[in-house]
Structure 1
Amino acid sequence: MRLLEGQVALVTGAGGGIGRGIALRFAEQGASAVALHCRTAASAAREVAARIEDFGARAVVPEADLRDEDACHRLVREAAERGGGLTAPVNNAGVQPTRPLPGMTAAQWRDVVDTNLTSAFACTQAAAEVMGPGGSVTHIASIEARQPAPEHAHYSASKAAVVTHARSAALEYGPRGIRVNTVSPGLIDREGLAQAWPEGVERWRRKAPLGRLGCPEDVADACVFLASWVTGHDLVVDGGVSARPTW
């Protein structure tokens, strides 16, 4: 018996590494349909859709700009209509630009907050209207919700708010049988990362008790677990880096 047998999932930002890993793992674990949202990476999302269909699941690739509230609601409705329902949305879409706080404009702040936080709020609100008891919403947050990095003030603040939003939503949607959780990844490997940021990758490997970067499958497995049971929880997936003393 696979853990997500018969579930219907929506993964936002499914064209990227983490989103791709989550979507594939959900199909492997028995989801009957997976909606792979994308904004610009449509060809990458369609490649993932083809692999999902190899598992015998239905795959659709809706496109939407999640900075727009109405687009979030349309996306969720489309995913539910084309998937035959919705039981396990994952709010993964996000951006992580770097910008010094002193020179940051309100427009630059809003772009990150709207993409990372407001989209999770709007998609969760829309999903709760089409899901019944047993539905599960998962947000992808970050360990930067607790440990911000320089030039990431907008990103770290948005991810801290994502964690608290999930806990608030767990309280309010719990009586309706809907669960809401977050996964907080650390540094997740992707193609070209070691070449683009060799000193950061090496520093992470030295600090991580497991001695390696995370991979999309690590995050995906955490999402599968949270889609099975638990609510109001933030599951950290960082190879133990957060356990290391900072003093």
Structure 2
Amino acid sequence: MSNMYYMVTITKREYGEEYLRYLYGGGVHCLSAALCEGTAQQKTLDLLGLEKTEKVMISSIVSKDLAGELLRGLMRTMRIDVPGNGIAFTVPLQSVVNHSSLKYLTQGQNFESDKEREMEENRYSLVVVIAQNGHTESVMDAARSANAGGGTIVHAKGISEKSAAQFFGMSIASEQDLIYIVSRQRDEKNIMRAIMEHAAAKDGGVQAVFSLPVNQVVGLRSLLDD
């Protein structure tokens, strides 16, 4: 489905409602939001007397044409390209299980069926790391050694039936961190290798690392100034 994208927008938590209004106004009616935080190094935060950056991640499924309009608007209207404001990117959608799912995900959007699949050149990648809670620093230290910039942390719960412990009849799921790192595609393998060789081997806190193709990015000048 080369004409449909999974679009992710990450910004400061205090901007969340404003960004939601912008996306709703732009024609996106099915959105998911999750609270998350940035990955600035603790020693830098301590030096500046700051806390971890609180952020919100907004995700949706959008058509190719609408994605272009929204990304341009995020730069022109929302000023997402101002350092520290956030980042937005799109991942090509491969498939949707059925028409009713597609209708739900694209409420109010107009799109054409994917009659011809056009090959797209993806210059960027999304590296996703699943790690045990508390191992983010070692993951990001390893990633930065391979030319990665910053990342975003989403706190989650592991729900594997085999690993869930039972406590007074309640299932206690393990705490996990999902770490999202947008990188240049040429750096992707080195970043993933560094994470596995250094962070995973060092303390065993990394459970999985994988990557997805990213075809459009706005809001991260250090990545775009190439």
Both structures adopt the same fold (TM-score exceeding 0.5): no
Greater length-normalized contact order (CA 8 Å, ≥ 6 residues apart): 2
TM-score (norm 2): 0.31
Structure showing greater Rg: 2
TM-score (norm 1): 0.29
